[in-house]
Amino acid sequence: MGMSAAAQFHVLAVDDSLIDRMLIERLLKTSSFHVTTVDSAIKALQYLGMVEDKLKGYETPEIHQNAEVNVNLIITDYCMPEMTGHDLLRKIKESNSLKDIPVVIMSSENVPSRINRCLEDGAEEFFLKPVQQSDVNKLKPHLLKSRSKEEEETQPINNNKRKQESSAPFNKNSYKIKI
Amino acid sequence: MERSQPRRQVAAMKQSLFDQGLLDEQFIQLEELSDDANPNFVEEIVTLYYRDSSRLISSIEQALKERHTLDFNKLDTLMHQFKGSSSSIGAKKVKAECTLFREYCRTGNAEGCMKTFQQLKKEYASLRKKLEAYFQLARQAGPMETACRPK
């Protein structure tokens, strides 16, 4: 599938609440995002190409498979059974291939320590529920920044210090993840 | 003018729901998400709310039957979910009852939980009827500029 220069941003929304999934999907689509929703953190990891290694937990396989996933932003609820949004955030940031994807956390509870911990662990934003259009409007700058950084890093000379840490065999800077 | 009469009735009905403290700003946010492609978004999400939350109501009801050995953690978790959905559709009074219920869970007050839950169910059912009437009237009135903010 060819992607034009003005390709839509693809957002993966994670929430165990059916109502909240419907709401976030509508909010995101109103902002012209392409949206995929899943109802758990584990399903989100699977969608992103992570598989469960019995010894190591979830990780991205080294072997390329057929499917291709292109996610530009992940927005996730905090309180979910089995795996919280915070756990999901950490798994994403620990993954070489996924760590540059911006992650946003949503929560109905205003707990400063929770908010700070999420932001410290790499979340771009923390939205209090119910999420508003004004919150969603804050997403585009993060996405545009990521996209321009991505374009910059495909140049032969770059001085982005993050790239120095990359040891991934495939081009992790494209968010297309071959799984 | 004849055409504007039903629309004024719809606006008046909505105003009334706000005046009674049944709905909050979130309901307006939902209306702002309706467009030509999704003209019935609010009705759809409210319908889904009632369908989806009925199982939570049943679970809470069931858990409250334990009477003398209430699992307050479980009740609080269930109510947290229900409160979240109620908040997302702007159900102000229902949400307030949820908050009260969770307070009683926190203090281990079984009586408080049971009383509050009865009140919550009343508010929940009453709101459903009122919203059904509102949506019916809105459909009859035809498309109107959405998200008219009540005073």
Instruction: Report all structural domains of chain A as residue ranges with CATH numbers, in order of start.
Output: 10-52+66-152 (3.40.50.2300)
Task: Summarize pLDDT for B96-125 with one digit per residue, the tens.
Answer: 999 999 999 999 999 999 999 999 999 999
Q: What distance in Å separates residue B40's CA from the closest CA in chain A?
A: 12
Angle at B131 between CA B126 and CA B132, to 5 degrees: 100
Cβ distance B48 to A19 less than 8 Å, yes or no, reads: yes
From the CB of residue B146, how many other CB atoms can be counted at a distance below 10 Å?
A: 16
Main-chain phi, psi angles of A16, to 5 degrees: -80, -10
Say yes or no: B41 contacts chain A, CB-CB below 8 A. yes
Q: What distance in Å separates residue B5's CA from the closest CA in chain A?
A: 31
Task: Summarize pLDDT for A3-14 with one digit per residue, the tens.
Answer: 444 568 999 999
Report pLDDT for A156. Answer: 63
Task: Summarize pLDDT for A75-113 with one digit per residue, the tens.
Answer: 999 999 999 999 999 999 999 989 999 999 999 999 999
Q: At what angle do helices B4-19 and B110-141 cross, to 10 degrees?
A: 170
DSSP state of A97: T
Cβ distance B48 to A18 less than 8 Å, yes or no, reads: yes
Q: Sign of the C-alpha dihedral, residues B44, B123, B145, B32?
A: negative
Cα B6 to its chain centre, rounded Å, is 24
List the single residue in A19, A30, A79 with the smallest CB-CB distance to B88: A19
Q: What distance in Å separates residue B84's CA from the closest CA in chain A?
A: 7
Give a yes or no: residue B127 inside a domain: yes
Report pLDDT for A144. Answer: 85
Count of domains observed in chain B: 1
Give a yes or no: residue B147 inside a domain: no
**CA B58/CA B52 separation, integer angstroms:** 11
The residue with tokens 């509870």 is A109
Report pLDDT for B142. Answer: 78
Cβ distance A129 to B45 less than 8 Å, yes or no, reads: no
CB pairs below 8 Å between A and B: how many? 48
Cβ distance A27 to B33 less than 8 Å, yes or no, reads: yes
**CA B37/CA A112 separation, integer angstroms:** 39
One pLDDT digit (tens) per residue for chain B, 151 residues:
455 788 899 999 999 999 999 999 999 999 999 998 899 999 999 999 999 999 999 999 999 998 778 999 999 999 999 999 999 999 999 999 999 999 999 999 999 999 999 999 999 999 999 999 999 999 988 765 555 567 6
Mapped onto helix, strand or coil, the DSSP state of residue B23 is strand
Mean predicted confidence (pLDDT) in A52-68: 55
Identify the closest residue of chain B to A29 by CA–CA distance: B33
Residue numbers of the domain that contains B116: 1-31+38-139
Report pLDDT for B68. Answer: 77
Q: Evaluate if residue A164 carries a pLDDT over 50.
A: no
**CA A168/CA B68 separation, integer angstroms:** 58
Residue predicted with more confidence, A135 or A148 = A135
**CA A43/CA B58 separation, integer angstroms:** 27
Determine contact, residues A112/A120, Cβ cutoff 8 Å: no
- Model ipTM value: 0.91
Cβ distance A17 to B83 less than 8 Å, yes or no, reads: no
Q: What distance in Å separates residue B42's CA from the closest CA in chain A?
A: 10
Nearest Cα to Cα of residue B126 among B15, B44, B22, B9? B22
Question: CA separation (Å) from A128 to A25, A76, A107, A110, B46?
Answer: 16, 12, 5, 7, 21
Identify the closest residue of chain A to B30 by CA–CA distance: A23
